[in-house]
Amino acid sequence: MKNAFLKILGLALMATVVLSGCDDDDPIPDPLPPVLENLENGIMEGELTEDYVLEPGKQYVLKGAFIVPDGIELTIPAGTNIQAEAGGTDVYLAVLMGGKININGTENNPVVMSSTAAQPGDWGGLTICGKGLTTAGENAEAEVGGFKYGGSNATDNSGVVKYLVIRGTGAQINSESQYNGVSLYAVGSGTTLENIAVINGADDGIEFFGGSVSVTNLFLQNNEDDAIDWTEGWNGTVTNSYVEHTIADFSTVVEADKANNNPKLVNLTAVSTTGGTALQFKKESGATITGLSLSGYSKSIDMKDNGPLENVIIEGETADPGNSYNNPPTVDPSGWTWVGAELVEIVVLEGELSGELTLDPSKSYRLKGSYIVQDGGKLTIPAGTKIHADAGGTDVYLAVLMGGQIFVNGNADNPVVMASDLGKPADWGGLTICGKGITTAGENAEAEVGGFKYGGTDNADNSGSVTYLVIRGTGAQINSESQYNGISLYAVGSGTTLANISVINGADDGIEFFGGAASVTNIYLENNEDDAVDWTEGWNGGISNTYISHTIEGFSTAFEGDKVNNNPMFTNVTCISTVNGTALQFKKESGATITGLHIDGYAVELDMKDGGALSNVQVQGADADVSLISGETSKYTFNSGADASPIDISGWTWKDADL
């Protein structure tokens, strides 16, 4: 018994020694919280429980909501790549009030947060909530995540964000709300935000909800709602921002809402290849803007709720919606290599073309001065090409000289558009083509437009082909007697093809023929302030399907014919006015043969201005059947022949195309 007891006691003592050694040398660690264990495995999900520094160069997957709460700090080193799963509103990164985020990207090694496909709406983006001031009050509830934000500390510090690229955000919360690329809720001025890019977001690029944080160097490309948005009294500054829009149906460059705490935008350059609105201000909102450069937007200023323009100060003056602000760029993002985005290429058209050139519809073209196709030159413009004309008056136009050719190859789905950004009458000079056809002005006559030479002996001359072209905002004033037209055709021959053309908002004529024998098929002319169709110098071509619309006061006529009568032929002419005016005017001995005439809404339907013979105007195969207006000597209304069915242009969807 004794020996057995001693043996058992000895074994127990040995076990005690062994166990004591394990306790002293190899303590069993406490298990990691799940959020930290996930981070060790490269997964970001859950609420961070302690300060944490991500591992440089490691790939992290954002699988759900990752939240940095009050008192906790997250640091993301340069070069970190965070891949967000395409989980919509369930996937986002949020920093709550009192929390901090330090994104320490560099120019050569930015931090990237993106879904795999980087498609708009894939995930929820970055949200930061601070203790700054907001008109929503303290502890307001964010539409993003329902987080609390807002306090009384205008200089609150939520950390540092430098060299960050975000792609594919904008997940839909509900019918009214979406996540933005970066959402800043009452973020204070103590927070540093520099060199941030938001690309391909389904909602805003960056939105400020109150606070006073400022941003330097902001790149925003193809965010489908607003690029820069603010509300709730934000009063910070954005310095050096570049916005690019190359997809249709986005909202705006800037949208401001509610109270005006006068935030500042310093050096804002925005480029659109799809028109749209640049700066929109709702309610009483406003801003002070310097260094503004807009290119390609069809509306520069929109005071959506009729707030005072005085709230928006641009270059030291009250904002002017009639100004396109098409100034030279103030921000050049080509040096921002950290962005990793392909920029739209803006090609300047200016000078002379003596060889052959085919434009590229994927590029944005800016007509900054005169662009002249010389004798022997050939310019081809493919379908879908858009040419943005500077609002430079008579200095800006496109001309094709005798012996040169132009081929505008638009189609019904993708017309070619040539327009000033705002499309205002007289912004630019339009398209001029000079040919070798016959004109009563003789050979090598001098055009009032550009002083170009035109006219020869070949009425079958071929200056090219123009199909599916939309022109807006022409009619620049040359002198007291002359203006540019939308399209000026000087002795253009019948070998030239002209079809499916729309000229809108010209300060002078829509289209004018100076001799020659060119003909047109399908032309739409809306609110050209002088004559819609004008001809002189013995033009003897024709137009099939002419639709003219007048809805503004003070225009001249639908048709104006002048000088000798070489009997141009018109088939199917519809002229509709809501503002009275004159429909058909013939000067001197001019005339025409017209079939399928429909006139509606004009006080004067026919004006033989210089007493020319009514027999010069043949309508439906007979002399014009008209009655003299009481008290007039040359102005008539039709008794018959002007009541044909109007042209059905419902299928001419191309006619309203814009930049």
- Of the three residues 314, 339, 364, the one that is the final residue of a domain is 339
Q: Residue 463 corresponds to which tokens in the numbers above?
A: 């200056």
- Per-residue pLDDT tens over the stretch 422-443: 999 999 999 999 999 999 999 9
> Which pLDDT band holds residue 6 (cuts at 50, 70, 90)?
very low
Same domain, 286 and 419: no
Query: Region 20-38: what's the mean pLDDT?
Result: 72
Same domain, 458 and 554: yes
State the CATH number of the domain containing residue 522: 2.160.20
- Placement of tokens 């000895």 in the chain: 10
Q: Residue 553 corresponds to which tokens in the numbers above?
A: 């006061």
Question: Is 21 part of a structural domain of the chain?
Answer: no
The pLDDT of residue 631 is: 96
Hey, what amino acid is at 386?
K
State the CATH number of the domain containing residue 193: 2.160.20.10
**For the purposes of burial, counting CB atoms within 10 Å of the CB of 126, is it exposed (0-12), middle (13-18) or buried (19 or more)?**
buried
The pLDDT of residue 17 is: 39
The answer, yes or no, to whether residue 3 has pLDDT greater than 50, is no
Residue 58 or 469, more confident = 469
Question: Is 19 part of a structural domain of the chain?
Answer: no
Closest to 99 measured CA to CA, from 61, 58, 48: 48
The pLDDT of residue 376 is: 98
Question: Is 620 part of a structural domain of the chain?
Answer: yes
> Of the ranges 401-415, 422-436, 480-494, which one carries the lowest mean pLDDT score?
480-494
Full domain range(s) for residue 86: 52-339
Same domain, 327 and 380: no
- Per-residue pLDDT tens over the stretch 320-333: 999 999 999 999 99
The pLDDT of residue 25 is: 58
Query: Region 505-528: what's the mean pLDDT?
Result: 98
Same domain, 302 and 443: no
Question: Is 300 part of a structural domain of the chain?
Answer: yes
Q: Rounded CA gap, 601 and 11, in Å?
A: 117
pTM for this predicted structure: 0.86
Question: Is 75 part of a structural domain of the chain?
Answer: yes
- Placement of tokens 């709720």 in the chain: 305
Hey, what amino acid is at 41?
N
Q: Quickly list DSSP for 153-170.
A: -TT---EEEEEEEEES--
Question: Is 12 part of a structural domain of the chain?
Answer: no
Query: Region 182-210: what's the mean pLDDT?
Result: 97
Q: Rounded CA gap, 283 and 304, in Å?
A: 7
- Per-residue pLDDT tens over the stretch 503-516: 999 999 999 999 99
Q: Answer for the pair 590, 612: CB distance below 8 angstroms, yes or no.
A: yes
How far does the chain reach from its first CA to its final CA, in angstroms? 106
- Per-residue pLDDT tens over the stretch 360-373: 998 889 999 999 99
Same domain, 235 and 140: yes
Element at 366 (helix H, strand E): strand 364-373
The answer, yes or no, to whether residue 285 has pLDDT greater than 60, is yes
Question: Is 34 part of a structural domain of the chain?
Answer: no
Question: Is 562 part of a structural domain of the chain?
Answer: yes
The pLDDT of residue 27 is: 67
Same domain, 84 and 153: yes
Domain count, the chain: 2
Closest to 119 measured CA to CA, from 161, 87, 80, 162: 87
In angstroms, what CA-CA distances link 339 with 206, 383, 610?
16, 31, 67
Q: Rounded CA gap, 614 and 635, in Å?
A: 11
Query: Region 39-57: what's the mean pLDDT?
Result: 96
Q: Answer for the pair 573, 601: CB distance below 8 angstroms, yes or no.
A: no
> Which pLDDT band holds residue 173 (cuts at 50, 70, 90)?
confident
Q: Where would I find the H helices in 440-558? A: none
Number of Cβ atoms within 10 Å of the Cβ of 469: 25
Same domain, 335 and 357: no
Q: Residue 50 corresponds to which tokens in the numbers above?
A: 């302690």
Chain centroid to Cα 305, Å, comes to 22
Q: Rounded CA gap, 252 and 229, in Å?
A: 9
Number of Cβ atoms within 10 Å of the Cβ of 637: 16
Q: Is the dihedral of CA 40, 65, 229, 74 positive or negative?
A: negative
Closest to 537 measured CA to CA, from 443, 432, 429, 431: 443
Strand-pair partners of 353: 373
Q: Residue 184 corresponds to which tokens in the numbers above?
A: 């800043």
Same domain, 276 and 393: no
